[in-house]
Structure formats: C-alpha cells, structure tokens
Amino acid sequence: MSDALTLYRERARQWLATFAPQYCGQARHGLSFEQDLRLAREWQALKVEHGYGCITLPTAYGGGGGTELEKVVFSEEEMRYDLPLNYFSISLNNPLPIFLRYANEEWKNRLAPATVRGELLWCQLFSEPSAGSDLASLRLKAEAVEGGWRLNGQKVWTSWAQIADWGVVVARSDSSLPKHAGLTYFFVDMKSAGITVQPIRRLGDEKDLNEVFFDDVFIPDDQRLGEINGGFRVAVETLMIERYAVTDESGYGPTLERFIELAANTRINGLPALADGEVRQRIAEVFVERQGLRAIHRRALEAFALGQAPGPEGAIRKLLLGRTRQRLGAAAMDLLGAQGLALDPQTHAVNDFAKAWLDPSLRIAGGTDELLLNTLAERVLGLPQDHRPDKGLPFSALKR
C-alpha cells in the first residue's frame, strides 16, 4: 500500500463510518423487498455523489475515474457493513462496463449515467436450460429481420431480471457455424414486447433468480454489441471484467469468530464444545484456509499495484471460499442441533449458519467448483485440456 492508497483507505473508512450505518443493519431490518431496493438505490446514488460509485469507470459517464486498487480498497472497507449491494452486483460489474466498451456514444450518454447512479438496473442473460458452464451451447435464436433482429427462446437463472430495465443477451445467429462462432451479443430493453419474466423460488427464499422467455422480441441493430457472430468473444470479455471479485473472508457467510463464539456457548456431553477435538480441528482447518486466502489476496493486490491483472488466484479463492462457507455452516448446524433447523425469514446466508449451509450459490454462479478445478488444472498445473468432442463441428450437427 502506497501512502496515497493508505490515505484513500483512511478517508473511505471515515466516510463509511459516517454514512453507512443509515443503510445497513438495523436500518434494513424488517424492510420489504421494495423498501430494501429503494434503500440500495439511495446508497448507490450517495456513493456516486462522493466519488465512490463505479470507482474505475470514466467520469464522463458518472464513474469515479479511479484505479483498480482504489476499487479493491473501498470494497474491502464497504464489505464490513451489511449494505444492500446485491441488487447492483451484476448490473454495475459486468453489463455496464461491456456496454461502455461497445455501444455507440448516443446510447452510452442515454443509459450509462442513470445506471451508475442506480436508477437503471441491468441483468445478464447468458445461461439457458442446456447452457451454463458450456455457455457456447446456448440456443436462444436471433434471426436477422428488417432493421434488426427477432429473438426466440429461453434464458434461466437470470439474477434480478424481475427488476431490470435493461439486459445484455447472447443469442445464436448462425447454427451452421461451430458453436462458439455463431453467437451474437445485444443489449435489450427488458420492457420490450414478448419478454416474460418468471421468478424461480429458492430454498432460502432469496428473491433474485428468474427464467426469462423471449417470444418474437425485436431488437434494433444499433443494440448489437460487437460483430455479427462475434458474440462469444464479447461474452467472455464480459465475464473477464470481474476477474477478481473482492469478497469478505467468510465467502459471504458467518465468520470463523462467530463459529468460535457458538462453540464456546454450546455443550457436548456436558463439556464446552470448544474443548471437543473435532470442533477444534474444524476451527484450525478454517483458520489455516483463511491465512492462505489472505496470502492470495495480497498477491492479487501486488499484481494490481504493478498494473497487471491477477492470475488464477481468483479461481483458487472462489473455490476455497464457497467450500469453506458450506463446511463451516454444516459444522455449526451440528452444534445447533434442532435449533438450527428453524429458518428465520429475516436472516440471510451472510449472517445465518443454516442458510450459509443451505445456499450453494457461490459454488455454482460465476463458475462451478468443477470448472474452477479445470481452470486450475489447465492454467496452473499445465495438465491437458478437457476433452472437446464437438470442436469445429457446425452447431446444427451436434446431438441435442
């Protein structure tokens, strides 16, 4: 950390201490979905006003014009508060930056500043029922028509589609080409005729996921991002923008300290659980993992400081965080016994062990555990690539 960055952190910390309490914790308790979303929009607007919203995006569109390291430092500090950031996690981190890279100036001026301020919200329409890890297998069809394109088909697992104003979407424009080559990338008005959004009910009752159906949806050609049939490259670029997401050390789950506190206050066979060998071993394992994660995080920060992008650290980090969160949740459930089965609607995976155990989303979204292991095998260990039997074949010739 340079002196300038240390000062930046200090200022951010003070700013957060002054403003954040009105937007987190008790301030959110008992709020309806709509009220919490309103609070989230107010928080985003306040950050933008003070230069902390979209820190790395250009000032011309309302961003902070800052560096990657400043963004990391601010996120680390912001993460200490239970703020309503989730609604914007997709909108501002992937669709907005890619839109700014590819859209024409008129569109950028029209949509970007309001998106930065949190007034407009975007979703990312990539995954389909038979295309998730293998995104290039998607089937949503884009047909060229006078002045634009007609889209037909379905997307699934679309976070915040129900409240999104705009979305980025990848569709198959030419199925005579190999699967990666026949895709085109667009942005779409989510209020367009022919779009239907259906919520997906989740185990912990989180209200983020949806199915989205496209029924003859018209998209003008000036809403195409990138070349015709060049959409896969733009999709990969979109996913690479957030190569290194800053997360808290418990993977958005209850902390190790909370687990230790629980163990200290629980008894096993009349003795404090903290004296139990198995419980102690679990604490030691999580502690060691956390030290490893801190070292990985420091390496990533050093890469940013040198103006480089972090390597596969992000994959190692995400893999460990997702697994640790669920394992710690399971260990806590063992201690809580029957009490751990009562789901409190006011809690979330961030602060509730049962929900942290029940919610595997961190191990699926943004790359499943197995895909991360593949990345590490290929990019770190230099092992041969995964078998790709469909390589080079026209998409239309592939078995469904």
Ligand X SMILES: Cc1cc2nc3c(=O)[nH]c(=O)nc-3n(C[C@H](O)[C@H](O)[C@H](O)COP(=O)(O)OP(=O)(O)OC[C@H]3O[C@@H](n4cnc5c(N)ncnc54)[C@H](O)[C@@H]3O)c2cc1C
Q: Which is nearer to ligand X, 255 or 375 (CB)?
A: 375
**String marking each residue 196-235 x if it binds ligand X according to CB under 6 A:** -------------x--------------------------
Q: What is the 3-state secondary structure (H, E, C) of 215-250?
A: EEEEEEHHHECCCCCEHHHHHHHHHHHCCCCCCCCC
Span from 153-161, 212-220, 293-301, 302-310 in contact with ligand X (CB under 6 A): 153-161
Tell me if 124 contacts ligand X by CB under 6 A: yes
Tell me if 386 contacts ligand X by CB under 6 A: yes
Residue type, 391: K
Choose which of 15, 23, 87, 126 interacts with ligand X (CB under 6 A): 126
The token duo for 288 is 């060691």
Least distance in angstroms from the C-beta of 228 to ligand X: 21
CA distances from 48 to 35, 116, 322, 361 (A): 20, 7, 31, 29
Q: Which is nearer to ligand X, 191 or 388 (CB)?
A: 388
CA distances from 86 to 202, 376, 393 (A): 16, 28, 39
Span from 37-45, 123-131, 173-181, 278-286 in contact with ligand X (CB under 6 A): 123-131
Least distance in angstroms from the C-beta of 141 to ligand X: 17
Choose which of 159, 184, 250, 266 interacts with ligand X (CB under 6 A): 159
Span from 65-73, 181-189, 303-311, 370-378 in contact with ligand X (CB under 6 A): 370-378
Q: Helices 277-305 & 313-336, crossing angle to 10 degrees?
A: 160
Tell me if 91 contacts ligand X by CB under 6 A: no
Tell me if 370 contacts ligand X by CB under 6 A: yes
Q: Helices 68-78 & 277-305, crossing angle to 10 degrees?
A: 150
* Cα distance between residue 268 and residue 272, in whole Å: 6
Tell me if 94 contacts ligand X by CB under 6 A: no
* Cα distance between residue 22 and residue 291, in whole Å: 32
* Cα distance between residue 131 and residue 267, in whole Å: 47
Local structure of 167: helix, strand or coil:
strand
Interface with ligand X by CB under 6 A: which residues? 90, 123-127, 132-133, 157-159, 209, 361, 364-365, 368, 370-371, 374, 386
